[in-house]
Amino acid sequence: MVARQSGVPAMMRRRTLLAAALAAPATARAQGAWPDRLVRVVVPFTPGGTTDILARAMASELQEALGQPFVVENRGGAGGTLGSEVVARAAPDGHTIMMGHIGTLAVNPWLYRNLSFDTVTSFQPIIQVAVVPNVLVVNPRKVPVQNVQELVALARRQPGALSYGSGGNGSAAHIAMVAFNVATGTRMEHVPYRGTGPMVTDLLAGTIDLTLTGGPAALPPVRAGQLRALGVSSLTRLSSAPDIPTIAEQGVPGFDATQWYGLVAPAGTPRPIIDRLNAECTRILRGDRLRPRLEAEGADPTPGTPEQFRELIVAERARWGELIRTANVRAD
């Protein structure tokens, strides 16, 4: 009797352990399911700029691939710091990510000294999405120049008379123009906006004179004959616009002020989610559907690992910090 009674609990224990073992994979799958609801893709600028264009393209592809809505949320203001703060404070569960760029991730720490977040430690890099050369464009009705040399000559004759727009203090266009002014010994008036979209609208209207901004935002009005392209900021010409010479080949040797863009998540986002996003984005950026569209707009897809993207952010922070100190640029 005693043996039989002791055997029954032992059998029950074995059954319980077996049931738990069988249930464990299902439980793990349930806990690890991602995404299980809407994912918001924060763009820290208003609609219409290169950041917004790239974010919407990637969101559409990710939504189709992962079966949940990927919704772009524009949170513009303060050179991208307001939207960045929203993401830095978001729950690290993979349901909030941000399309960052050179300005928000590498430049803003030098311009905004009281940030509540750190662009390296507060975010988990996912993937670098694209490199985008800037295009120097003018409103031809206001600035009747044909090339970079003529623009530089005009700006030197009239220091401070020409105005350039950007998507905000610390935006890629702002810093690219700071680099241009330093390299050419010119001085032009900076007019910051809450995003590239409204800036381009004012440029078309003649409220400002010029800008040096990403191809996806600059090339359509150039092709429509509304703006004149003077040069591109990369060391080589754009394959999508080979007729536009580089700034470097027009008397500013070595000039290279190229934008880059990439996705980040709040620090602490589980690595399996980061890896899943990286893998899907890599497939999308190397595929034949989105890549040709991006290249046609002057964006070069550059997928890599999260670690490679982190290294880029750290290196670019150091590079542009030196320029900002030299030029004494402030976010005011």
Give pLDDT, residue 311: 98
Give pLDDT, residue 36: 96
For 74-89, the pLDDT digits (tens) are: 999 888 999 999 999 9
Number of Cβ within a 10 Å radius of residue 307: 9
Give pLDDT, residue 31: 43
For 20-37, the pLDDT digits (tens) are: 444 444 333 334 689 999
What CA–CA distance (Å, rounded) separates 29 from 24?
A: 9
Domain architecture of the chain: domains with CATH = 39-132+259-327 (3.40.190.150), 133-250 (3.40.190.10)
What CA–CA distance (Å, rounded) separates 136 from 148?
A: 9
Place of tokens 């020409």: 162
For 271-322, the pLDDT digits (tens) are: 999 999 999 999 999 999 999 999 988 899 999 999 999 999 999 999 999 8
Report how far apart, in Å, the C-alpha atoms of 33 and of each of 18, 25, 280 are.
Answer: 24, 12, 16
Decide if pLDDT at 14 tops 80.
Answer: no
What CA–CA distance (Å, rounded) separates 12 from 16?
A: 6
Residue with the larger pLDDT of the pair 322 and 187: 187
Place of tokens 């032992």: 10
In degrees, to the nearest 5, what angle opens at C-alpha 75 toward C-alphas 163 and 198?
Answer: 30
Give pLDDT, residue 141: 97
Instruction: Provide the H-helix boundaries in the chain.
Output: 2-32, 50-66, 81-88, 102, 108-111, 148-157, 172-184, 196-205, 215-223, 271-286, 291-296, 306-327
DSSP tag of 162: S
Number of Cβ within a 10 Å radius of residue 68: 15
Percent of the chain with pLDDT over 90: 77
Q: What tokens appear for 235 in the block?
A: 């060391």
Least confident of 204-208, 237-241, 326-330: 326-330
